[in-house]
Structure 1
Amino acid sequence: MRKKLSRRDVLQGAANASAALAAGSVFASPARAEAPAPVAISPALVDAAKKEAKVILYSSMDLPVGEKLGKAFEAAYPGISVQIERSGSERLFQRLDQEFGSGIRAADIVNTSDASHIISWKKNGWLAPFVSDDIAQHFLPDYRDPDGMSATSRIYLSSIAYNTKLVKPEDAPKSYADLLDPKWAGKMVKGHPAYSGTIMTATFQLIRELGWDYLDKLSKQRVMQVQSSTDPPKKLSLGERAVMADGNEYGVVLLKEAGQPVEPIYPTEGTPTISGPTAIFASAPHPNAARLFQAWLHTRETQQFFTDYTAQYSAHAQVVPHLGRRKLSDIKLMKEDAAGVEKMAEEIKTRYARLFRV
């Protein structure tokens, strides 16, 4: 029976990767080779993709979001279908490890909410270099792998939030420290870092900034534990809990815009920042369709559509912020560090499970 590898086992030797220093700076390893020349969406690429007729996307995006993107791509390129395999990023990481270990090469392209996965897959030689014209021209180096192995498709936050029917604005928590107040015991909900890449990334940033002692105290607050980062906003809007201790901020924003009684909070200590990179597998069964999808996903038009529809943020320099929504520049952010997440992932899973008894 094949031994299950931990992320640390998979990434032995990658410890020399330098830490990403800015929010969104997720590609930690220095370039070892010249990045490939930028590729335009040409008739030849479209024809080759149409001959393959399919692209298989492994994705941590909310399923409705992934499906919306898939339908938009299918409308833009009739004859090419998009098959989406959706799960939490940490589960996708495990699934791909198992598939590659068993000789299964099913995935064409992957989007993860745990940018440290790119370090692993790149180290293993699983990724194929590809840089579209838009990625080369309009994405700062912080948002694309130096060897062309991936690009940041989305940026978003893991905030706290509250139900406006259950909590008055003046009583709402303003910081992570406020969540430790006994009045919130039994009234909070949060995601799980062993399932969600968003929560893994956010948990790492909280530990770095506030220490394990903070999570120890939070675990004593009888917090409702769910899996995905998409779940806390839903529990909040249903009134099952009054406060969201973590979870995706964009879900709260969309619910609020739909008239639900929820309000995001950007903690005084800073809000954890998450980048979602997308990469093509070197063993992709439909390589041309994967390249076409990657190029299309990072065009200004698709990035604008994605930003407007999902309330997430884009690394594309030409995308305009949605009117009425907060700008990243207006929010105090915690910094990302994909290499740091990679080093601590197994420890976070183990200690978190012990603290929260899940």
Structure 2
Amino acid sequence: MTRALIHLTSILLLSSTAALAQVAPNARVERDGEGRTLPELYQAALKEGGTLEVLAGGDEVNQQDATVQAFKAAFPGVNIKVTVDLSKYHEGRIDQQLASKNVSTDVALLQTLHNFDRWKSQGALLPYKPVGWNQVPAKFKDVSGAYTGMLIYSFSNVSNVAATPADQAPLDAIDYLDPKWKGKIVLVYPNDDDAVLYQFYKIIQKYGWTYMDRLLAQDVRWVRGSATPIPTLLQEPGTVSFTTAFPLVPVPNLPLRFNVPRTDSFLTWAQTAAIFKDAKHPAAAKLFLSFLLSKEFQANAPFWPIRNDLPAPQGWKPLSEYNTNHTDFKAFMRDRATVERFRLQIERYIGTPQGPSPLVDGR
């Protein structure tokens, strides 16, 4: 199995393209905030022409391939280009475009949640309430529709059940300090990814800075990119991680399992999207956001659906029944002084991120 396939199947969208191709005909009864259905939005996008430009946060270039394939299958003739990079780098690109008044990005789909309110305050966003918007909890969206959460993402424990039965895998942060995990822990540099930095912020709040001293004594293998631990977990079955993601429903033929902590809180957030006011392809942008929020797409998402009217994946309870504060990460991201101060504190322990970027490592 190639590394690219592993990341495609394990991190973002494991959706059946064939199933998602039925989004357009099946969603006729739902309308967006402008009173239009997906088929009507599709016709508007066809008339508009051009190529929809989306900047999507991520750390593997192929993470959005399944989304693009499904969108094209559902809406033939609507061209789309999704560029994946770390959200913090997309932030800089977008700010430069706005400053130069030359906006080439139609849609931003990012982890850097603090940016959306800033861009709204600058008058840079186009208010839009996609199909399904009324089913998105208020805490995940702007009241005017300037931005909306599209997908629930989560980082937590992932282990290989071929070597470690799920009930024997570490779950709480303190479990990783057991000597039996020495040399077997693969973690993402927290000073390279704000979501992982948040995880460590919560750990230090609960266990104190002595946790870092004890963790470093475990000979942790630090890597760049939240998807990077997955190949190691597959190729070295005894390894474990809590700074990566894997679908809630097990992937056929892959022995990895996602587990939430026993008592610790864990990270969830809403990957959020917005359309820019000066977007060159607003009709296609509205179609894309409505596509992401459609029932069919959400039902195939790897984590919990963001819509209130859809059940949790098989074998899982609703997200509200777990120990995760869905909006705490956004509050953390908004407090940039705390984020940068904590990043430097962590860096004193583990140094600057080393190794190639997962986006340019030639895979």
TM-score bin (small chain):
0.7 to 0.9
Amino acid aligned to 2:135: H
Equivalence for 1:96: 94
Q: Which residue in 1 is equivalent to 2:123?
A: 125
| Counterpart-to-counterpart distance in 2, 1:54 and 1:128 | 18
What is aligned with 1:269?
264
Q: Is the CA contact 1:144–1:150 (under 8 Å) kept in the aligned structure 2?
A: yes
Deviations along 1:76-103, one digit per CA (max 9) or x if unpaired, are 2222111010022233223333444455
Residue among 291, 308, 311 paired with 1:317: 308
Q: Residues 293 and 170 of structure 1: is their aligned pair in 2 closer, same or farther, counting only changes over 3 Å?
A: closer
Q: Give the match for residue 340 of structure 1.
A: 332
How far apart, in 2, do the equivalents of 1:68 and 1:231 lie? 19
Once residues 84 and 291 of structure 1 are traced to their aligned partners in structure 2, the CA distance between those partners, rounded to angstroms, is: 15
Q: Distance in 2 between matches of 1:124 and 1:190?
A: 37
Distance 2:143 2:106 in 1: 21
The change in CA–CA distance for 1:55 and 1:177 in structure 2 (over 3 A counts) is same
Identify unmatched segments of 5+ residues in structure 1. 1-35
What letter corresponds to residue 339 of structure 1 in structure 2? Answer: A
Matched, 1:138 2:135: yes
1:235 aligns with 2:232: yes
Give, as a single letter, the amino acid of the residue that structure 2 aligns with 1:76. Answer: A
Give the alignment's TM-score, normalised by structure 2.
0.76
Q: Deviation digits for residues 144-180 of structure 1, max 9, x if unmatched?
A: 1122111111113211232334445565323111112
Q: Judge conservation of contact 1:119–1:339 (CA < 8 Å) in 2.
A: no
1:260 alignment partner, one of 245, 254, 257:
254
- Give the drift of 1:42: 6.6
- For the pair 1:163 / 2:160, whether they are aligned, the reply is yes
TM, length-normalised to structure 1? 0.77
Give, as a single letter, the amino acid of the residue that structure 2 aligns with 1:312: F
Q: Which residue of 2 aligns with 1:181?
A: 178
Partner of 1:3: none
Q: Deviations over 1:115-165 (max 9, x none)?
A: 233233334433221112420x21221221122111111113211232334
**Counterpart residue identity of residue 92, structure 1:** H
Tell me which amino acid in the other structure corresponds to 2:144. Answer: D
Equivalent residue number for residue 299 of structure 1: 294
CA distance in 2, matches of 1:216, 1:352: 11
- Amino acid aligned to 2:334: E
Q: Offset at 1:226? A: 1.9
Shift of 1:286: 1.4
Contact kept? 1:88, 1:195, Cα under 8 Å? no
Q: Which residue does 2:195 correspond to in 1? A: 198
Partner-residue secondary structure (3-state), 2:80: strand
| Deviation, structure 1 residue 289 | 1.2
Among all aligned residue pairs of Structure 1 and Structure 2, give the percentage whose two residues are the same amino acid: 24
Cα offset for 1:292?
1.7
Tell me the distance in 2 between the aligned counterparts of 1:173 and 1:144: 34
| Structure 2 counterparts to residues 239-254 of structure 1, below 5 A | 239=236, 242-250=239-247, 253=248
Alignment of 1:14-53 (within 5 A): 38-41=34-37, 45-50=41-46, 51-53=48-50
CA distance in structure 1 between the partners assigned to 2:99 and 2:196 by the alignment: 26
> How far did residue 43 of structure 1 move?
6.4
Counterpart residue type for residue 221 of structure 1: Q
